[in-house]
Structure 1
Amino acid sequence: MGVKRHIVHIDLDSFFVSVERKFDPSLIGKPVIIGGSSDRGVVASASYEARAFGVHSAMPTRQALKLCPQAVVVHGTYGRYSEASREVTEIIHRSVPLYQKTSVDEFYIDLTGMDRFYDPYDVATNLRQTVIRETGLPISFGMASSKTLAKMATNQAKPNGQLRIPHGGEREFLAPLNIRKIPGLGESTCQKLYQYGLEKIGDLQRVNLKFLEAVFGKMGTYIYNKANGIDDSDIIPHSDRKSISTENTFESDVKDRRTLENILVSMTEELAGKLRRENKVAGCLAIKLRYSNFETHTVQQKIALTAAEHILIPGIKNLLDKAWNQHRPIRLIGVKLSNLSTGSYQINLFEDNEQRIRLYQAMDTINFRFGDKTICRAAGMEVGARSFNPFLKD
């Protein structure tokens, strides 16, 4: 059977809203929207009170205010969120041996092996209470035998709750949930499964793997494993990160080159900005394409150390030309920057002009103060409200 894994997924509930409520308690209990101005901005985060009206992140603020006119709009300051995130990270860092920070408000913790000395659920419970006590922020966790299940448990535990899926109880936990709850399943795949009368994960558990492979190809194996609670992916310690990546699954397959390029530009800008904030540069870039039959292609290219978009974006577009068979529509696209090392992007001073360096510094300052996508290239802007900001999440 192997070692029993104890994986915890921790998520700070409506994080930006919770941070703002600490600074202004009058916001407690009210529908709150964090985001840009009502004429051009998008929602970065919404309180549960606002979500009840159908408001969600990445929605244009104007539309959100039509759904919930009484909402209070707060123009968030990124510095507050990064500081709150740092406080939570420090508590986790001193409390557990192995963790992975996957976004500003989300962590995976591996407590495998600790059950020889402590009940891992008690460890997670105490950690959650410590975060609430020391930061005043609401937080939820799920605990299970894998990352996927722990994340799904957190979603069931929200808001401000906790849930343990016992070993051996994975399939039972999953069975009553809608197939939409499986992370990474696109809308078109769900619709196709519905046509076969498969609505609950329990329905999928009764289906033969061969059938799913015949209908969905490699994707069928993925669906089968997730439905049966099979996931052995590891927790990668934050400090060991040698790459940075982002990807997007389309609800319906895309073969329009301009759309793909705009999304790649947006993703590359997001990653490059993140590198510059962390004072890192990349020496290798890669793109990942997945076709509708789940066939996946990755191509990469070594580059001079940089974190500047004007070097990265042409490289990424060039990789798209190499990787993409243009007759085939794409289901998922991703960008990865790797071979990271510490160093300022001004390493490129000899090939950058002063004006360009000042432009990056200005962009970074504005984006740091007002959120990741305040200012970006026109191509990236065409992506519009479907921003790839890592801090935007439901």
Structure 2
Amino acid sequence: MPLEPWTGPAILLVDLDAFFASVEQLDHPGWRGKPVIVGGDADKHGVVSTASYEARCFGVHSAMPASTARRLCPDGIWTHGHFDRYNEMSRAIMDIVRNETPYVQQVSIDEAFADVTPTAVNREHPAIVARRIQQCVEELGVTCSVGVGSSKTIAKIASDIDKPRGLTVVYPGRERSFLAPLPVRTLSGIGAAAEAKLKARGMTTLGDIADADEAQLVRLFGKNGHVMYVRANGGDDAPVVTDDLVKSVSNETTFAIDLVCRDEVEAAMATMAAKVGRRLRRKGLKGRTLGLKVRFDDLSFRSVQRRLDHPSDDELAYTPLLYRMIDEVWRPGIPVRLLGVSMTGFDTEENVQESLFALADEVPNADDVAPVVKDEEKRRGLIKATDLVKDRFGESAVRFGRELRGEGNTTGSASKNPADYR
């Protein structure tokens, strides 16, 4: 059928269908057509990272506790995943998208926005571009769903309408009618608490929000109320951000068995600090603000951060500082479910709130803490040598003894943050 003319901005959201599970089914032909679950161990606080559509028929979904998923789908095929493989596939797919337009914003390992607005030079219809991307992705052995709209909000919602292999096009001028019947939770940023407030005032659909008094929404939600109102009416001028400005480099781990002893906690912090340091060096970055996040067995969390005297990518220098920081938020004997280490402050106009962690506002300077190896030349030489070994033989080829102490005490769950695969 002929396509209607397109005028104005055109944004795609390319969303890979059950990506981790789809790659596993591609690589294991015997798993095709069967319920595949990628995630952590059911008896170790694990969660589901991705479930194939066959597993979703049993009610299994991402972020579900692995124990619940096992109960719902006892015959499911479980795997912790092969993350290097997922990263390899993700890069190949993102290259397909970038072959269509240089304006690509990858938001996770399996999602990316792309600006394909027709121009005087290239008048190709956005729906044709979207379908071509789908076909190229299918040639790699996995599938994707694509939403096409005049904004990132519309494209994101459209991509979820018809999965898997869906292609949903919302033409300019039809945004409000497209959004009106959808539940309020469909809009990004509206969680359970916001939904409850809206429902208490009789607003259950995006159409209800669009028809509401904007001033009332602002009173309820502050500036987010304005954003909510604009987006429910089909507006959204957020651009596709193509730069790779890094605001935070971080690593966090959820433990299969809660940590209660200081030596276990220090070993875990050292392991994450080493991963953060290596990622900093790979990106050519040095940060000024070190962050530590702790989640306890009751799922509450505390966090603390310190400003370093000098920008650093050297975990042997800043790990001892983490050992002091932990004393501000934890005491031995209190069960620790998760630990996270972050580094921010990569430019002169540092904005620490852009961290992956929700950290405190206070950022006092670091105490005078001695590095693991005091001689800087020897320390840098040791780091360079270990980096070279890891580059050649893999990340686990060389580790300090303290990093081995907690080996195996993880849930096996996977993140979709692309930084965790680089």
Q: Is the pair's TM-score, using the shorter chain for normalization, greater than 0.5?
A: yes
Report SS of the residue matched to 1:232: coil
Residues 144-197 of structure 1 show CA distances to partners (whole Å, capped at 9, x for unaligned) of 111121111101132111111110111111101000111121211111111111
* Structure 2 CA distance for partners of 1:212 and 1:245, relative to 1, 3 Å: farther
RMSD value over aligned CA atoms? 4.4
* SS at 2:63 equivalent: coil
Q: Is the 1:18–1:137 contact (alpha carbons within 8 Å) kept by the matching residues of 2?
A: yes
- The answer to whether the 8 Å contact 1:269/1:376 transfers is no
- Alpha-carbon distance in structure 2 between the residues aligned to 1:152 and 1:226: 11
* Inter-partner Cα distance in structure 2 for 1:388 and 1:100: 18
Match of 1:122 in 2: 128
- What corresponds to 1:390 in structure 2? 417
Equivalent in 73, 80, 90 of residue 75 of structure 1? 80
| Distance in 1, Cα, partners of 2:287 & 2:207 | 45
State the one-letter code of the partner of 2:125: D
Shift of 1:274: 8.4
- Measure, in 2, the Cα distance between the counterparts of 1:270 and 1:218: 39
Structure 1: which amino acid aligns with 2:313? T
1:42/1:236 CA distance change after superposition, 3 Å:
same
> Are 1:169 and 2:174 counterparts?
yes
After superposition, residues 227-306 of structure 1 pair within 5 angstroms as 227-238=232-243, 240-244=244-248, 272=276, 275-276=279-280, 278-285=282-289, 303-306=310-313
**For residues 405 and 196 of structure 2, what CA distance do their matches in structure 1 show?**
35
Alpha carbons 2:48, 2:64 under 8 Å: kept: yes
Q: Distance in 2 between matches of 1:274 and 1:124?
A: 37
CA distance in 2 between counterparts of 1:37 and 1:270 reads 25
| Stretch moving more, 84-93 or 32-41 | 32-41
Residue 13 of structure 1 contacts residue 140 of structure 1 at CA under 8 Å; is this kept in 2?
yes
In 2, the alpha carbon distance for the partners of 1:274 and 1:187 equals 37
TM-score in terms of structure 2 length: 0.65
**Secondary structure in 2 aligned to 1:30?**
coil
Q: How many angstroms apart in 1 are the aligned matches of 2:118 and 2:288? A: 36
- Counterpart of 1:188 (choices 189, 193, 210) is 193
Give the match's secondary structure for 1:152.
Answer: helix
Is the Cα–Cα contact under 8 Å of residues 60 and 69 in structure 2 kept in the other structure?
yes
Q: 1:272 to 1:157 in 2, by over 3 A?
A: farther
CA contact (8 A) 1:59 1:385 kept: no
User: Are 2:83 and 1:56 aligned?
Assistant: no
Q: Under a length normalisation based on structure 1, what TM-score does the superposition of the two structures give? A: 0.70
- Aligned position for 2:158: 153
Paired with 1:148 and 1:350, the residues of 2 have a C-alpha distance of: 51
| SS of corresponding position for 1:124 | helix
Kindly provide the amino acid, as one letter, of the partner of residue 127 in structure 2: Y
Alignment-mate amino acid for residue 123 of structure 1: V
Residue 327 (structure 1) aligns with: none
Match of 1:293 in 2: none
Partner Cα distance (1:270, 1:140) in 2: 37
Does the C-alpha gap of structure 1 residues 216 and 243 become closer, same or farther in structure 2, counting only changes over 3 Å? closer
CA distance in 2, matches of 1:113, 1:313: 54
- Which of the two has higher C-alpha Rg? 2
Matched, 1:339 2:346: yes
What is the aligned counterpart of 1:14 among 2, 13, 18? 18
User: Residues 314 and 143 (structure 1 numbering): CA distance in 2 closer, same or farther, change over 3 Å?
Assistant: farther
Higher helix share: 1
Task: Note the residue ranges of structure 2 that are not aligned, 5 or more in a row.
Answer: 1-6, 251-268, 292-305, 329-340, 348-375, 398-402
Alignment-mate amino acid for residue 81 of structure 2: G
Q: CA deviation at 1:225?
A: 1.9
Structure 2 CA distance for aligned equivalents of residues 117 and 28 of structure 1: 39
Contact 1:60 1:385 in 2 (8 A): no
- Say whether the 8 Å CA contact 1:9–1:154 is kept in structure 2: yes
Match of 2:253 in 1: none
Q: Deviations over 1:29-83 (max 9, x none)?
A: 2111112334323322111222232322233323211111011112311111111
- Is the aligned partner of 1:34 residue 2:38? yes
Measured after TM superposition, the shift of residue 285 of structure 1 is 4.3
- How far does residue 377 in structure 1 lie from its aligned partner after superposition? 11
Matches within 5 A, 1:177-216: 177-216=182-221
The whole-number CA distance in structure 1 between the counterparts of 2:290 and 2:230 is 27
Instruction: Supply the distance in 1 between the matched residues of 2:307 and 2:9 (Cα, whole angstroms).
Output: 34
Give the paired residue count: 333
Task: Give identity over the alignment, percent.
Answer: 32
Shift of 1:276: 5.0
1:205-226 CA distance string (max 9 Å, x none): 1101111112222221122122
Instruction: Give yes or no for contact 2:281–2:313 (8 Å, CA) kept in 1.
Output: no
CA contact (8 A) 1:8 1:142 kept: yes
Contact 1:272 1:309 in 2 (8 A): no
> Are the counterparts in 1 of residues 40 and 413 from structure 2 also a CA contact under 8 Å?
no
Between the aligned partners of 1:376 and 1:150, the Cα distance in structure 2 is 45
1:300 and 1:113, CA in 2 relative to 1: closer, same or farther beyond 3 A? farther
Instruction: Evaluate the alpha carbon distance shift between residue 165 and residue 312 of structure 1 in structure 2; reply closer, same or farther with a 3 A threshold.
Output: farther
